[in-house]
Structure 1
């Protein structure tokens, strides 16, 4: 916010000089309220501004999101797009908003569109477009999206939507793990100048009861932070605010929250059939987080399982790739 603004707003001057946090409503400070709703401010709002809880979702919240979208905020486009597509079941508007964010090179939006294309979400299984999913994953991976890079690596390894290239697929999986490790080191050691602190922090991290493993290689890392919009999706359905139709399930990865839009849309574990995933990225993370310790064949699934599409499965991940 420009420095000269504080000259005209006593509340902002107080917050600046007294180093305190002040919550001001429009009745207390109309100038600040007008500044907060200025188009420029709304266009620059960060992702945490949109970390709303399902219990707080209302028409006013929806209106605020729309104001941010109209101001050109890409995070608002992505978040509202996900909410409309999966929670409010307004597929067309949701896709349009995510596409708007993707056109501005918003990596999570590109990857989310890739997941939709891989699954044919919002349509039938004949609406799947594997090539489009691969292309969107490739673009998101170039912007540094780790799950998109991992998805692309698996596609190349399996020849899924692209000509098979096992060596290149493995290289991309290695690169995804390197990026994941780099992210971990940044989280553990915010200041690289203090080697003693580095050693201490690393030791504490290793001693914690963490459940995640460095994907595809078996190294233990802290559980990744769930993104606000993914947390919103999961809480929306688990709280009962939104109801899934009979036969539909959420992606089993705790950090995802995407629901099926038709029965058997997501691919199931090829061994137990108890879990299902919207993507290979979610399967890989959940395998390392918990499913590796829980997975075992079941008699019901071994016999086929009523209504289960046995061709729509994910094989167990190989720890070495």
Structure 2
């Protein structure tokens, strides 16, 4: 007498052979294994992707994969850890959506988003108070580029008259950024000490800061090009850094500065106003004759000593000549 094989409930007991085949088929064809992952694990993956993104598309591609990823990808934990390159939007692609995304990241506590949006608001849309507040929000959390940018604003009196310059405030912000290792801030502080600009004159200490800035710059560039140097390509070492005659390859500027370069490259600025001549800066004047001129050629204009030193190493040292007097 044949006995009928009992189909066990897969939850309560072992499944039959036919049921195992059905489970395997469903798992291999119709099931998405990501649905099995807890939200915490998916969030940790997105945090890693956002914090290491090299361009906005790296982050957008992950978020737009499915509805669940779209929800988890804009979680405040993910947005607060996104890298600076995640916000490297091009000026031609600027939109209300990009503005809302940056603002949302800033509200989540992302210092890079606060700094980038602050620079855009301050210089591109001339919302000086909002832009300065966003940069200050990043500076409070020890964001070195934000501290240095606010120092430049104080040194130049940007957004107001020449009389509102705050040299002591600029030196204080610059010193904090220098303490955090910002190379341009270290160099700026060195020149302030040498010239007695906003601080007591101390030539020896100022020279020490300039040497430290050049040493840090040399170390940074060499570490990025170590493979080329080890293979025998030493042509980048025969020129040295800014103040002491050596020239090194230009490091990639911050996404906020790249946005300014694109923005003012495509738009006509007031003819009376000038843009910083260092190609990696992009800052424009907020009033006539705000930036300092090169003391030799009187042609190039710079928002800061840091930009002047970088442009010098990028080729101005070869073209700088005193004006011909007739």
Q: Same fold (TM over 0.5)?
A: yes
After superposition, what is the alpha-carbon deviation per residue over 1:17-76, rounded to whole angstroms, capped at 9, x for unaligned?
xxxx893675x5110000111111111111110111001100000010111011111100
Number of residue pairs the alignment of both structures matches: 278
- 1:23 equivalenced with 2:61 (yes/no): yes
- 1:250 equivalenced with 2:275 (yes/no): yes
More helix by share: 2
After superposition, what is the alpha-carbon deviation per residue over 1:85-120, rounded to whole angstroms, capped at 9, x for unaligned?
000110000000000000000000000000000000
SS at match of 2:284: coil
2: CA distance between counterparts of 1:269 and 1:25?
A: 47
2:84 match: 47
Which structure: larger Rg?
2
2: CA distance between counterparts of 1:123 and 1:237?
A: 20
The answer to whether the 8 A contact 1:81-1:95 is kept is yes
Residue ranges of structure 2 left out of the alignment (5+ in a row): 1-32, 47-57
1:121 match: 158
2:5 match: none
1:231 match: 258
- The structure-2 alpha-carbon separation of the partners of 1:90 and 1:118, relative to structure 1 and needing over 3 Å to count, comes to same
Residue ranges of structure 1 left out of the alignment (5+ in a row): 191-196, 304-321
- The structure-2 alpha-carbon separation of the partners of 1:67 and 1:290, relative to structure 1 and needing over 3 Å to count, comes to same
Displacement of 1:8 in angstroms is: 6.2
2:131 match: 94
The answer to whether the 8 A contact 2:246-2:313 is kept is no
The answer to whether the 8 A contact 1:153-1:172 is kept is yes
After superposition, what is the alpha-carbon deviation per residue over 1:171-225, rounded to whole angstroms, capped at 9, x for unaligned?
01011111111112221227xxxxxx8631xx22x246x9974221222322221
Listed as ranges, the matches of 1:263-282 within 5 Å are 263-282=288-307
Displacement of 1:7 in angstroms is: 2.3
2:247 match: 220
The answer to whether the 8 A contact 1:212-1:289 is kept is no
- The structure-2 alpha-carbon separation of the partners of 1:100 and 1:6, relative to structure 1 and needing over 3 Å to count, comes to farther
Listed as ranges, the matches of 1:151-300 within 5 Å are 151-189=188-226, 199-200=230-231, 203-204=232-233, 206-207=234-235, 213-240=240-267, 243-299=268-324
- 1:7 equivalenced with 2:37 (yes/no): yes
1:62 match: 99
1:312 match: none
2: CA distance between counterparts of 1:47 and 1:232?
A: 12
2: CA distance between counterparts of 1:6 and 1:147?
A: 49
The answer to whether the 8 A contact 2:242-2:310 is kept is yes
